[in-house]
Amino acid sequence: AQKVTQAQTEISVVEKEDVTLDCVYETRDTTYYLFWYKQPPSGELVFLIRRNSFDEQNEISGRYSWNFQKSTSSFNFTITASQVVDSAVYFCALSEAPSGGYQKVTFGTGTKLQVIP
Amino acid sequence: NAGVMQNPRHLVRRRGQEARLRCSPMKGHSHVYWYRQLPEEGLKFMVYLQKENIIDESGMPKERFSAEFPKEGPSILRIQQVVRGDSAAYFCASSSRQGFNEQYFGPGTRLTVT
């Protein structure tokens, strides 16, 4: 069975600080996808990134960067120079290889980030 | 707007009433997933449907919950005789085909049972 652990329940940082959100996953599959979603106070889910298990290259998108390490089953997310608008709940998620032709996404419990001005 | 649509966005029901949540997938998508997010928790898979077929309902509570995705019209998640514990956000996602394909999420329906 697949599992996603986000050990940090809540994090508070002061604006302009860097912050890293941890994500550790468990899966028996060799083929899988990892995701990060942002859920702002308004409640919708905003897709941030998808990474497949064969691509361990780190990715940077503006102030966001992701570090994928298969050796430690981790997919951590760093926000550089945080801003108040980054305040949200962030979810890490895992999708294993399709079983029966479809995939179920397993979400972590989320990390609530508060950026203080 | 060609995104996944859910309505209503907010739904208030008294205990014992029925709740109907609707999900219109993205244009061209024939695969629908429903997830539930209880307060302070992550999303949990409930059911996966294709047009006119329930493929996997392993995450659905055994009683009072049902889902359908008719040939025409939106997917419906139906909760009969709601209880306070059903209060949650219900998200729908759609994808265009089977296999590894990104699921696009709707904005969610927030159900409050009073």
3-state helix, strand and coil shares in percent for chain A, rounded to the nearest 5: 5, 55, 40
In chain A, what residues touch B59 (CB-CB under 8 Å)? 104
For position A100, what pLDDT does the model report? 62
Q: Which residue in A has a C-alpha nearest to residue B110's C-alpha? A: A43
Query: What's the pLDDT band for B47 if we cut at 50, 70, 90?
Result: very high
Q: Is B44 helix (H, G, I), strand (E, B) or coil?
A: strand
For A80, the token pair is 């550089």
Is the model's pLDDT at B98 over the cut of 70?
A: no
| Cβ-nearest to B100 among A33, A91, A100 | A33
For B103, the token pair is 């699921």
CA distance A72 to B77: 38
In chain B, what residues touch A91 (CB-CB under 8 Å)? 42-43
pLDDT digits (tens, 9 = 90+) for B1-43: 468 999 999 999 999 999 999 999 998 888 999 999 998 788 9
Nearest to A61 by CA among A39, A44, A38: A38
| Cβ-nearest to B55 among A91, A102, A106 | A102
Q: What part of B 7-46 touches A (C-beta under 8 Å)? A: 31, 33, 35, 41-45
Is the model's pLDDT at B88 over the cut of 90?
A: yes
pLDDT digits (tens, 9 = 90+) for B52-74: 899 889 999 999 999 999 999 99
Q: What part of A 33-62 touches B (C-beta under 8 Å)? A: 33, 37, 43-45, 47, 50, 52
Q: Is B73 helix (H, G, I), strand (E, B) or coil?
A: coil
Q: Do the Cβ atoms of A98 and B104 come within 8 Å?
A: no
For position A43, what pLDDT does the model report? 86
For position A101, what pLDDT does the model report? 64
Which residue positions in chain A have pLDDT lower than 70?
97-101
Using a CB–CB cutoff of 8 Å, tell me whether B107 touches chain A.
yes
| Cβ-nearest to B99 among A101, A107, A110 | A101
**Which are the contacts of A75, defined by CB distance < 8 A and separation ≥ 6?**
A23, A25, A34, A36, A51, A66, A67, A68, A69, A92
DSSP calls for A83-108: -GGG-EEEEEEEEES-SSS---EEE-
Beta carbons of B83 and B109 less than 8 angstroms apart: no
